[in-house]
Amino acid sequence: MRVVKEAAERRNEILDAAEELFVTKGYDKTSTNDILDKVKIARGTLYYHFKSKEDILNAMIDRINSSLIARAEAVAKDKSVPIVERIVMTISSLRVNTDIGNEIITLVHKPQNALMHQKMQKSLVEGVLPILTDLVNEGNKEGIFDVKYPKETTEMLILYSTIAFDDDYDESPESSKKRIIAFLINTERLLGAKEGSLQKTMMKLFN
């Protein structure tokens, strides 16, 4: 008995299955057959909705990242919160292991899934960069920061934090804590903020 569904619904079913498989087994080691079995559809159906395996990956990443970026944007634009805190919270909203439903990215950061990793990172950085740059500009106006090249400096902060706080680069919990403190100090310097102005706020959020 053949089940017919609206294209949008099927697409999502496929993406759901793919997401779980890619995350647990890794992209390379997940075969399209694995996906077919899980969704219980035939080969032809999969390729009716997506033009290739990589196309599925891209769609999946878009789905994840747009929700991630939407959240980051909400945080960043909450004018009731001081800028310094908003910056901190926006960055840490990307450190996904903090959050529900998103152990995803913790797992995604496995050596196997290089392609997935790279794609997510790039699209994440691109999405968050303008948001954070705005915040830095605001800080400049308020006089609490002093940044000549806001976009480039922000880029440096984001790029570093998305990589350095990956599981790959964590050796001991000891060194990871040290890295966070160093990151705070360095962020202060890069933003030209008063010494210690970020540290208190941040340590709360980074726990």
Q: Is 203 in the site for a copy of itself (CB under 8 A)?
A: no
Q: Do 183 and 70 meet the contact criterion of CB atoms below 8 Å apart?
A: no
C-alpha 188/C-alpha 145 separation (Å) is 9
Q: Is 111 in the site for a copy of itself (CB under 8 A)?
A: yes
Q: What is the DSSP string of 12-75?
A: HHHHHHHHHHHHHH-TTT--HHHHHHHHT--HHHHHHH-SSHHHHHHHHHHHHHHHHHHHHHHH
Question: Residue 124: which residues within 8 A CB-CB, separation 6 or more?
Answer: 65, 68, 69, 94, 162
Q: Is 51 in the site for DNA (CB under 7 A)?
A: yes
Query: 10 Å Cβ neighbour count for 41?
Result: 20
* Token pair for 18: 């793919």
Among DNA, a copy of itself, none, the one that 2 touches (CB under a kind-dependent 5 to 8 A) is DNA
Q: Is 185 in the site for DNA (CB under 7 A)?
A: no
Q: What is the nearest approach in angstroms of a copy of itself to the Cβ of residue 182?
A: 3
Q: Is 140 in the site for a copy of itself (CB under 8 A)?
A: no
Q: Is 1 in the site for DNA (CB under 7 A)?
A: yes
Q: Considering only the stretches 2-10, 33-41, 71-79, 152-160, report the one whose residues sit in contact with a copy of itself under the rule CB under 8 A.
A: 152-160
Q: Considering only the stretches 2-10, 97-105, 122-130, 147-155, report the one whose residues sit in contact with DNA under the rule CB under 7 A.
A: 2-10
Q: Is 25 in the site for a copy of itself (CB under 8 A)?
A: no
User: According to CB under 7 A, which residues from 5 to 24 bind DNA?
Assistant: 5-7, 10
Nearest of 90, 101, 180 to residue 128 by alpha carbon:
90
Q: Which residue, chain included where needed, has tokens 């290739």?
A: 52
Nearest of 62, 19, 59, 57 to residue 39 by alpha carbon:
19
- How many residues of this chain interact with DNA, rule: CB under 7 A? 25
Q: Is 109 in the site for DNA (CB under 7 A)?
A: no
Q: Is 115 in the site for a copy of itself (CB under 8 A)?
A: yes
Q: Is 52 in the site for a copy of itself (CB under 8 A)?
A: no
Residues that bind a copy of itself (CB under 8 A): 111, 114-115, 117-119, 122, 148-149, 152-153, 155-156, 159-160, 163-164, 168, 178-179, 181-183, 185-186, 189-190, 192
